[in-house]
């Protein structure tokens, strides 16, 4: 019997969605096992069943030959099963050590000095063995995302987890961090720990996994050894015939219209709450009919820049111009001026989780009279529009009335994109627009952005995915430590040069 066996697992959500249908899944100790499937295939659901955050309707779980009942994460942890979710479970105002300690004891005694010193010592030893380096005294809120992820994993190792369920861990990491992260996974393997690794990047599966299981619409398509398998074969398993065309494509770049700039960013400075310059005098122009890409390792000021242009973060110096006229630094005015905004953090800036899909589709549009009578929202046209968008964007949802938080990650992203595009914006800001999307949805969004460009709209694409930037952008800027270190036409750059610039090496020729 394999070391982990999930047999006949089925799960239908209360809204009738059959997320898992008679799934058999197994993993061996000391293996890295990939879990692959399109958005909504059931990957997260399967892992949540194993971690005890979701109750299954049917099926049995065996660990090391013994049948187990996992009714909660604390049951799971007792059995050595730990899960890292896409959203980390950390307390920002606590230090690393306090966060780790908080998982074991009640919050009030985590500050006891004696306990904490022991905790720190153990964290250091875990760091050393696993390669997950963090400072136990650092405040979690001051850590970059990649480091927060380390803390989340350390928390599980501290509790003795030896079966680690990692849900899209690489989606928040930059290429260098991913490289290091894979080394950590290989060390786990040497210690005979088991890793189940969810990702949408097929090349990552081939690079680090021993085996891979593919899910499609809640059913297992198969489990394979990754040796000798190609990316194409994986894509076909995941999506079916015709998927090859999704893998290889690149759109020719385009000379923008020789008009004046649609959006001009002039010497913009954005400070964080401590007064530190996050965006340090950034200037560029985007023309109609152009995709202007900003590449860079996450955390170099792109997020603040994007939010400032969208009217969320405060601009402390500098100005924005839309078609030559000053654009005020106010969210309301930015929306009214026809600037579409696809945010990177869907649940924080883009969606209201408890609201329905239909309601989410009119967020920011609701000033319009067609949805608004004097005192209440007119639901009929809202629902009608929602149904149209669901069909046009192929959003997987039972209907427009379910809460948006019950959609899979990729489908939530589609709801935002559909809404922003449906506003027929003059300019569209797309920040990590394909984060967490499977390859068909990614292709769909890419085509959409290209189509908008061809219609003469100005597109600002900000992405930490260098492939995406190189595929779509007509001009590419690289941001490092709050500054733009170079702007080039796409033909003039390649991966290597972009990588150097992302590390802060200033481009010589422009
Ligand atoms: N809490 C929930 N309530 C109702 N339906 C849900 C809930 N969570 C997920 N679903 C549905 O179950 C199906 C499987 O979702 P799941 O999140 O497991 O997919 P996934 O493979 O992880 O997708 P993604 O790659 O987008 O993260 C989807 O159709 C989703 O809409
Ligand atoms: Mg998921």
Question: Is residue 17 in contact with ligand 1, taking CB distance under 6 Å?
Answer: yes
Number of residues in the chain? 510
Render each residue's pLDDT in the chain as its tens digit; 510 residues. Answer: 779 999 999 999 987 889 999 999 999 999 999 999 988 899 999 999 999 999 999 999 999 999 999 999 999 999 999 999 877 888 888 999 999 988 765 445 545 555 789 999 999 999 999 999 999 999 998 888 889 999 999 999 999 999 999 999 988 787 788 899 999 999 999 999 999 999 988 899 999 999 999 999 899 999 999 999 998 888 888 877 665 555 666 667 777 666 678 999 999 999 988 888 999 999 999 999 999 999 887 778 999 999 999 999 999 999 999 999 999 999 889 988 999 999 887 777 778 888 999 988 887 665 555 566 555 677 888 899 899 999 988 898 999 999 998 888 788 888 998 998 888 899 999 999 988 788 888 888 899 999 999 999 999 999 988 888 989 999 999 998 899 988 999 888 877 777 777 766 654 433
Q: Which segments of 13-57 are extended strands (E)?
A: 18-27, 32-36
Q: How many CB atoms lie within 10 A of CB 119?
A: 24
pLDDT at 413: 86
Q: How many CB atoms lie within 10 A of CB 12?
A: 15
Helix/strand/coil for 434: coil
Q: Is 122 exposed, middle or buried (0-12, 13-18, 19+ CB in 10 A)?
A: middle
Question: Is residue 441 in contact with ligand 1, taking CB distance under 6 Å?
Answer: no
Expressed in angstroms and rounded, the spacing between residue 371 Cα and the centre of ligand 1 is 29
Which residue's CA lies nearest to atom 4 of ligand 1? 406
Which residue's CA lies nearest to atom 18 of ligand 1? 42
Question: Is residue 364 in contact with ligand 1, taking CB distance under 6 Å?
Answer: no
Q: What is the pTM of this model?
A: 0.78
**For tokens 């099926």, what's the residue?**
59
pLDDT at 262: 93
Tokens at residue 118, please?
């022991």
Q: Is 315 left (phi over 0), alpha (psi -120 to 50) or beta?
A: beta
Check for a shared fold between 4-247 and 263-502: yes
Distance CA 495, CA 221 (A): 35
Q: Which long-range contacts (CB under 8 A, 24 or more apart) does 231-236 make?
A: 231/202, 231/203, 231/206, 234/36, 234/202, 234/205, 234/206, 235/202, 235/439
Q: Could you give the strand order of the β-sheet that contains 317-322, starting from the edge strand earlier in sequence?
A: 277-286, 263-271, 317-322, 325-326
Question: Is residue 308 in contact with ligand 1, taking CB distance under 6 Å?
Answer: no
Q: Which segments of 121-181 are extended strands (E)?
A: 163-167
The candidate with the shortest Cα–Cα distance to 197, out of 187, 205, 207, is 205
pLDDT at 505: 60
Q: Is 3 left (phi over 0), alpha (psi -120 to 50) or beta?
A: alpha
- What is the CATH number that goes with domain 4-247? 3.40.50.300
pLDDT at 509: 39
Distance CA 224, CA 218 (A): 18
Expressed in angstroms and rounded, the spacing between residue 17 Cα and the centre of ligand 1 is 9
Pocket mutation for ligand 1, best pick of 21, 36, 40 (most atoms within 8 Å of C-beta): 40
**Phi, psi angles (nearest 5°) of residue 30:** 75, 20
- DSSP conformation letters of 293-326: EEE--TTSSHHHHHHHHTTSSPP-EEEEEETTEE
Domain ranges of the chain: 4-247, 263-502
Which residue's CA lies nearest to atom 27 of ligand 1? 409
Distance CA 278, CA 471 (A): 27
CB contact at 8 A, 167 and 82: no
- Give 153's contacts (C-beta < 8 A, 6+ positions apart): 84, 130, 132, 164, 166, 184
Distance CA 357, CA 403 (A): 6
Question: Is residue 44 in contact with ligand 1, taking CB distance under 6 Å?
Answer: yes
Question: Is residue 23 in contact with ligand 1, taking CB distance under 6 Å?
Answer: no
The candidate with the shortest Cα–Cα distance to 428, out of 298, 348, 309, 269, is 309
- For residue 10, list its beta bridge partners: 58
Pocket mutation for ligand 1, best pick of 16, 23, 45 (most atoms within 8 Å of C-beta): 45
Question: Is residue 39 in contact with ligand 1, taking CB distance under 6 Å?
Answer: yes
Q: Which CATH class is domain 263-502?
A: alpha beta
Distance CA 12, CA 60 (A): 16
Q: Which long-range contacts (CB under 8 A, 24 or more apart) does 142-149 make?
A: 143/96, 144/298, 144/299, 145/172, 145/173, 145/298, 145/299, 146/172, 146/173, 146/174, 146/177, 148/88, 148/90, 149/84, 149/88, 149/173
pLDDT at 508: 46
């Amino acid at each position: 019997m394999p070391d982990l066996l999930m047999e006949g697992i089925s799960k239908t959500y209360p809204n009738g969605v059959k997320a898992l249908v008679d799934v058999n899944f197994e993993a061996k100790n000391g293996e890295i096992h990939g879990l692959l499937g399109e958005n909504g295939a059931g990957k997260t659901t399967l892992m949540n069943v194993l971690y005890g955050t979701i109750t299954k309707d049917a099926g049995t779980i065996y660990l090391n030959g013994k049948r187990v009942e996992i009714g909660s994460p604390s049951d799971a942890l007792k059995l050595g099963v730990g899960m890292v979710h896409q959203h980390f479970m950390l307390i920002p105002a606590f230090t690393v050590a306090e966060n780790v300690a908080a998982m074991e004891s009640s919050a009030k005694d985590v500050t006891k000095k004696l306990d904490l010193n022991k905790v720190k010592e153990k964290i250091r030893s875990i760091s050393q063995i696993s390669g997950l380096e963090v400072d136990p005294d650092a405040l979690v809120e001051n850590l970059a995302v990649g480091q927060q992820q380390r803390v989340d994993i350390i928390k599980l190792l501290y509790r003795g987890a030896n079966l680690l369920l990692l849900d899209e861990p690489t989606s928040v990491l930059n290429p260098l961090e991913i490289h290091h992260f894979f080394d950590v996974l290989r060390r786990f393997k040497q210690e005979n720990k088991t890793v189940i690794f969810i990702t949408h990047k097929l090349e990552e599966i081939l690079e680090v996994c021993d085996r891979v299981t593919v899910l499609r619409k809640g059913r297992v398509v198969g489990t394979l050894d990754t040796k000798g398998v190609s990316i194409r074969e994986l894509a076909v398993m995941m999506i079916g015939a015709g998927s090859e065309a999704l893998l290889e494509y690149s759109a020719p770049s385009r000379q923008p219209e020789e008009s004046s700039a649609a959006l001009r960013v002039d010497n913009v400075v954005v400070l964080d709450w401590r007064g530190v310059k996050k965006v340090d005098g950034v200037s560029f122009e985007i023309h109609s009919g152009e995709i202007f890409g900003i590449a860079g390792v996450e955390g170099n000021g792109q997020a603040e820049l994007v939010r400032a242009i969208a009217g969320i973060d405060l601009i402390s110096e500098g100005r924005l111009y839309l078609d030559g006229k000053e654009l005020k630094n106010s969210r309301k005015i930015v929306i009214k001026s026809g600037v579409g905004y696809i945010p990177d953090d869907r649940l924080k800036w883009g969606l209201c989780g408890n609201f329905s899909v239909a309601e989410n589709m009119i967020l920011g549009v609701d000033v319009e009279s067609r949805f608004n009578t004097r005192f209440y929202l007119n639901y009929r046209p809202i629902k009608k529009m929602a149904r149209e968008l669901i069909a046009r964007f192929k959003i997987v949802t039972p209907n427009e009335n379910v809460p948006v938080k019950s959609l899979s990650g990729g489908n939530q992203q589609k709801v935002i994109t559909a809404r922003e595009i449906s506003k027929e914006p003059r300019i569209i800001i797309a920040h990590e627009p394909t984060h967490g999307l499977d390859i068909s949805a990614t292709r769909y969004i890419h085509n959409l952005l290209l189509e908008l460009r061809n219609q003469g709209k100005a597109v600002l694409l900000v992405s930490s995915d260098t492939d995406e930037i190189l595929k779509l952008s007509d001009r590419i800027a690289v941001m490092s430590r709050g500054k733009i270190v170079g702007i080039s036409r796409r033909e003039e750059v390649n991966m290597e040069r972009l990588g150097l610039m992302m590390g802060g090496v200033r481009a010589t020729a422009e």
